[in-house]
């Protein structure tokens, strides 16, 4: 306060002595016990400045372009295939069994692998998998359909039907393997790239497109498939997942929560805090980090100086790195992690070592920051190709099956195209909807004002469109 | 809480939390030091002892984590009542509050609800070190999806907290910490006023003072002092900052023709600025003077030895009345 005390009168009408004696309450309140009296007073000088306010501005003549048709459509839901958690003993996943590196994983510490890039089954001492032919074919189908949906969405963005699309290309095994490790009563907190996990949860793929088309900011019912809304602020959802898991523990339920995030998110405070909370409360949450090597243009070594899975050690729970392009290894490791959570052993960090083969989003240009050689090296480890090679060698699939998957892909892609092109814009008035569950006077007032404004245009319909 | 018992605000809040914990097994109290210690202001004193560590939860020292996990608990069906230890410590949680908590109901097109209450002891006058005396209500009022209330007396502290906990929306509950341990007041029985309704706490004809939280008492003192000078000042306790009950303010200003808004927060882009703008729109032909604001300056909250000069005390409020009456 810039008070010139000499310019002030010597008494205050309040008669209140100006002391700095405090009524300190609470332990943190340091009592400023000065009893210094001031002989200053309020001058009551009328020093206000009158600011003339103008009259109401002229009404804008601009008119919004009319939008499309009404009502959100409902499409048939795909039923999530139930994959019960196996009673396999969790592996010895104590972190630190491989040497820490100072490169954030570029020199590849050991990781769990059950299917080599060449399509050969290998065993791992800690993570076994017992899986039948039907289930293997199911994983293949899931990955192919997910990749096809993703390609279709990228194409729809190029055609102007979507404003943006974050492709999951290359991460199909990480998402399908983890997504299929869950029960319906488990809960998933995704980033904005978990299209494969959404598929496993039974979320209709077309629902994922709404926010990228700009017709909503999420839109689906998270409790419909226990799949929370996509979260764009990096890492925020890790805390929601942890809190949800704390609730599961309070309820005495044996469900588990999967918190998805990427390598870039591990730098966020919210992810660090979620590790702390989950560890302290022993919450049944699995932190599933898809390390796809790139946070837009920044490589993992810009986020960490130790392999990411080793972060868990400092928080007091196990971490493990799994070959994120090996759907069998991801499934086995996630099952084990989820089983730990169910049986009260607390959180676990799974780092799925994978690769974002495409751009960060359709707005990104990876040629500015990474080489073609790198991408080609990862293409050789393609998650779908290696499973197909294995299935064909083991004669678990035939041409008819592969053709039927291709046909199913075509059908789904056609449905996605058609549904996006007919997806209606929301009525403008809907921007006032669902801001509050119990209502809010200001929203009501502004809604009414906007409705009157919109109605002032003769060619506008009742809904302000 | 015995009938007729007089409670200071801190104890009224304690009783209200106790009642909520008794009434609804889904209600949780969580925050730093809220358990054994009973909070740094002792507002949660004894609750953990009676309701257990599972419902009265000492959290890690991480505000974003507290609010973020409260969101997750709410999604699971709980009704967390979160304590942020001091006003100046809410900012690590600001991201979770603004980008997640406030928007999630809308993002899900109304299919999920976020009944989270965030209690924040706020405002100054206690001689504290920095970050312990701030009034950040405007920073939250700007955000759609949040509701913001602040009681000024024990009865409101009790009932408004009950209502906030029952509300299906996120509510930021600002508690005037300098009034926590003031004189005990009786908690009214019967049906409480609606949560977001302003209250005329003193009637007058010459000028209206709109105040809330810690400044309500100052406004009443100013009305007393003005009465001695022959001025009849009406005093409003707004109680709610989002939404603001403009109807009650408007009705008052239409009677008095003058309005002074008093709050501890800086006036620049503060709630007083919003009230001035809206009341000017609503009462343009009733106003005898521009709406004036008395509050904090565009300066960091000052060191404790000068905070009384910063705070809108009785003399500054009277000065504001003088200026409004001079028109």
pLDDT digits (tens, 9 = 90+) for B272-309: 999 999 999 999 999 999 999 999 999 999 999 999 99
Does B283 contact A at CB distance below 8 Å?
Answer: no
User: Are residues B284 and B252 in contact, defined by beta-carbon separation less than 8 angstroms?
Assistant: no
Fold of B6-186: Rossmann fold (3.40.50)
Examine the domain organization and report whether A380 and A458 are in the same domain: no
Contact pairs from chain A to chain B, CB under 8 Å: 244
Percent of chain B with pLDDT strictly greater than 70: 100
The pLDDT of residue A110? 86
Domain annotation covers residue A317: yes
Query: Of the candidates A1, A250, A435, which has its C-beta nearest B310's C-beta?
Result: A1
Identify the weakest region by mean pLDDT among A107-116, A373-382, B240-249: A107-116
Q: Measured between alpha carbons, how far is A441 from B188 in angstroms, rounded to an integer?
A: 26
- If asked whether residues A363 and A460 sit together in one domain, one would say no
Each residue's pLDDT tens digit, A361-394: 999 999 999 999 999 999 999 999 999 999 999 9
> Under an 8 A CB cutoff, do B108 and A222 touch?
yes
pLDDT at A79: 34
Shared-domain flag, residues A312 and A248: yes
Per-residue model confidence as pLDDT tens digits over B16-48? 999 999 999 999 999 999 999 999 999 999 999
B147 touching A, CB under 8 A?
Answer: yes
CA A246 to chain B, closest CA, distance in angstroms equals 7
Q: Which of B105, B131, B132, B263 is catalytic?
A: B132
Tens of pLDDT along A144-157?
999 999 999 999 99
Identify the residue with better confidence: A13 or A204: A204
- A309 and A325 share one domain: yes
Residues A140 and A277 in one domain: yes
pLDDT tens digits along A60-109? 434 443 333 333 333 333 333 333 333 334 433 333 333 333 444 445 56
- Parts of chain B belonging to CATH 3.40.50.920: 199-325
CB-based contact, B144 to chain A, within 8 Å = yes
| ipTM value for the complex | 0.97
Q: φ, ψ for residue A303 (rounded to 5)?
A: -110, -25
Pairing relation of β-strands A294-295 and B292-296?
A: unpaired
Find tokens 């904090």 and name the residue.
Answer: B296
What whole-number distance in Å separates Cα of residue A128 and Cα of residue A149? 31
Catalytic annotation, residues of A: 356, 360, 369
- What phi-psi label fits residue A20: left (phi over 0), alpha (psi between -120 and 50 degrees) or beta? alpha
The full 3-state SS of A23-83, as one line of letters, equals CCCCCCCCCCCCCCCECCCCCCCCCCCCCCCCCCCCCCCCCCCCCCCCCCCCCCCCCCCCC
pLDDT of residue B2: 77
A260 & A347 share domain: yes
Residues A303, A447: one domain?
A: no
- Closest B-chain CA to A257: B72
Q: Are residues A314 and A231 in the same domain?
A: yes
Q: Do A1 and B306 touch (CB under 8 A)?
A: yes
DSSP structure class, residue B100: I
Query: In 10 A of CB A275, how many CB atoms?
Result: 25
User: Does residue B175 register a pLDDT over 70?
Assistant: yes
Q: What is the CATH number of the domain that holds A207?
A: 3.40.50.970
Distance from C-alpha of B80 to C-alpha of B73, rounded to nearest angstrom: 7
Mind telling me how many Å the CA of A64 is from chain B's nearest CA?
23
Percent of chain A with pLDDT over 70: 75
d(CA B283, CA B305): 40
Confidence of residue A21 (pLDDT cuts 50, 70, 90): very low
- Do A208 and A246 share a domain, yes or no? yes
CB contact under 8 A, A46 and B40: no
Look up the domain containing A443 and give its range.
Answer: 428-465
The answer as to whether A352 is a domain residue is yes
Q: Clarify whether residues A326 and A463 are in a common domain.
A: no
**Number of domains observed in the structure of chain A:** 2
B298 is catalytic: no
For the domain made up of B199-325, the CATH class stated in words is alpha beta
* Of A269, A271, A277, the residue nearest A290 (C-alpha): A271
> Which residue from A236, A245, A276 is facing B100, i.e. has the nearest CB?
A236
pLDDT tens digits, one per residue of A238-249: 999 999 999 999
Please tell me whether residues A406 and A459 are part of one structural domain. no
Q: How far is CA A45 from CA A49, A178, A343, B223, in A?
A: 12, 72, 73, 19
A47 confidence band (pLDDT: 50, 70, 90): very low
Q: Is B319 on the interface with A (CB under 8 A)?
A: yes
Q: Are residues A370 and A440 in the same domain?
A: no
Instruction: Determine the Cα–Cα distance for residues A188 and A182; give it in Å rounded to an integer.
Output: 9
Contacts of A433 (CB under 8 A, 6+ apart): B106, B109, B110
Instruction: Give the predicted TM-score (pTM) of the model.
Output: 0.87
Tens digits of per-residue pLDDT, B93-105? 999 999 999 999 9
Inter-chain CB proximity A22 and B304 less than 8 Å: yes
Interface-testing mutation among B107, B294, B325, with chain A (most A C-beta atoms within 10 A):
B107
């Amino acid at each position: 306060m810039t008070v010139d005390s000499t310019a002030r009168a010597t008494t205050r009408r309040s008669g209140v002595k100006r002391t700095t004696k405090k009524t300190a309450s609470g332990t943190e309140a340091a009592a400023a016990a000065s009893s210094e009296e001031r002989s200053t007073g309020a001058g009551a000088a009328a020093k206000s400045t009158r600011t003339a306010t103008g009259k109401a501005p002229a009404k804008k003549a601009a008119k919004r372009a009319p939008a499309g048709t009404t009502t959100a459509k409902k499409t048939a839901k795909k039923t999530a295939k139930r994959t019960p958690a196996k009673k396999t003993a969790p592996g010895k996943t104590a972190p630190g069994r491989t040497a820490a590196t100072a490169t954030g994983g570029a020199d590849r510490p050991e990781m769990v692998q059950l299917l080599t890039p060449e399509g050969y089954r290998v065993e791992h001492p800690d993570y076994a998998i017992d899986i039948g032919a039907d289930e293997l074919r199911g994983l293949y189908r899931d990955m192919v359909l997910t990749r096809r949906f993703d390609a279709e969405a990228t194409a729809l963005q190029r055609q102007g039907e979507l404003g943006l699309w974050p492709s999951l290309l290359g991460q199909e095994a990480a998402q399908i393997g983890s997504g299929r490790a869950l029960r319906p009563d488990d809960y998933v907190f995704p980033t904005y790239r978990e299209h494969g996990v959404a598929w496993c949860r039974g979320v209709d793929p077309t629902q994922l497109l709404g926010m990228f088309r700009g017709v909503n900011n999420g839109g689906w019912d998270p409790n419909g498939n226990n799949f929370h809304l996509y979260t764009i602020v990096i890492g925020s959802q890790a805390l929601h997942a942890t809190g949800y898991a704390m609730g599961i523990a309070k309820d005495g339920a044996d469900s588990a929560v999967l918190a998805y995030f990427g390598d870039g998110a591990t730098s966020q405070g919210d992810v660090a805090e979620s590790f702390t909370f989950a560890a302290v409360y022993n919450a049944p949450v699995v932190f599933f980090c898809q390390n796809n090597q790139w946070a837009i243009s920044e490589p993992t070594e810009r986020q960490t100086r130790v392999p990411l899975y080793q972060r868990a050690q400092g928080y007091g729970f196990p971490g493990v790195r799994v070959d994120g392009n090996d759907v069998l290894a991801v499934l086995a490791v996630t099952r084990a992690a989820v089983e730990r959570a169910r049986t009260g052993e607390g959180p676990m960090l799974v780092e799925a070592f994978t690769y974002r083969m495409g751009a960060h989003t359709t707005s990104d240009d990876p040629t500015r920051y990474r080489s073609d050689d790198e991408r080609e090296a990862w293409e050789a480890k393609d998650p779908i190709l290696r499973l197909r090679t294995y299935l064909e060698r083991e004669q678990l699939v035939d041409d008819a099956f592969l053709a039927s998957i291709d046909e199913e892909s075509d059908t789904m892609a056609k449905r996605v195209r058609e549904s996006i092109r007919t997806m209606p814009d929301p009525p403008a008035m809907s921007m006032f909807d669902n801001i509050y569950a119990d209502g809010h006077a200001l929203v009501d007032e502004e809604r009414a004002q906007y409705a009157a404004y919109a109605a002032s245009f003769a060619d506008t319909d009742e809904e302000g469109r | 809480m015995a009938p007729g018992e007089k409670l200071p605000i801190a104890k009224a809040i304690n009783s209200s939390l106790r009642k909520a914990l008794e009434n609804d097994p889904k209600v949780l109290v969580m925050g730093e030091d809220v358990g054994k210690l009973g909070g740094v202001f002792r507002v949660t004193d004894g609750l953990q002892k009676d309701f257990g560590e599972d419902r009265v939860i000492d959290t890690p020292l991480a505000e974003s984590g507290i609010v973020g996990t409260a969101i997750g608990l709410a999604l699971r069906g709980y009704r967390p009542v979160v304590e942020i230890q001091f006003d100046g410590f809410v900012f690590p949680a600001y991201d979770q509050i603004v980008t997640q908590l406030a928007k999630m109901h809308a993002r899900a097109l109304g299919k999920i609800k976020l009944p989270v209450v965030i209690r924040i002891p706020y405002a100054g006058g206690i001689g504290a070190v920095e970050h312990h005396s701030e009034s950040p209500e405007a920073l939250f009022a700007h955000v759609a999806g949040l509701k913001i209330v602040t009681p000024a007396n024990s009865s409101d502290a009790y009932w408004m907290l009950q209502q906030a906990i029952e509300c299906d929306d996120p509510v930021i509950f600002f508690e005037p910490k300098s009034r926590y341990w003031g004189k005990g007041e009786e908690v009214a029985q019967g049906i409480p006023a609606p949560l977001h309704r302003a209250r005329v706490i003193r009637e007058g004809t010459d000028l209206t003072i709109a105040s809330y939280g810690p400044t309500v008492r100052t406004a009443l003192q100013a009305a007393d002092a003005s009465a001695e000078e022959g001025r009849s000042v009406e005093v409003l306790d707004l109680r709610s900052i989002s939404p603001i009950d403009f109807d009650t303010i408007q009705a008052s200003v239409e009677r008095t023709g003058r309005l002074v808004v008093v709050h501890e927060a800086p006036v620049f882009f503060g709630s007083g600025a919003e009230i001035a703008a809206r009341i000017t729109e609503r009462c343009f032909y009733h106003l005898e003077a521009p709406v004036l604001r008395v509050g904090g300056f565009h300066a960091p909250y000052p060191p404790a030895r000068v905070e009384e000069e910063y705070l809108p005390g009785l003399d500054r409020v009277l000065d504001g009345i003088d200026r409004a009456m001079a028109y």
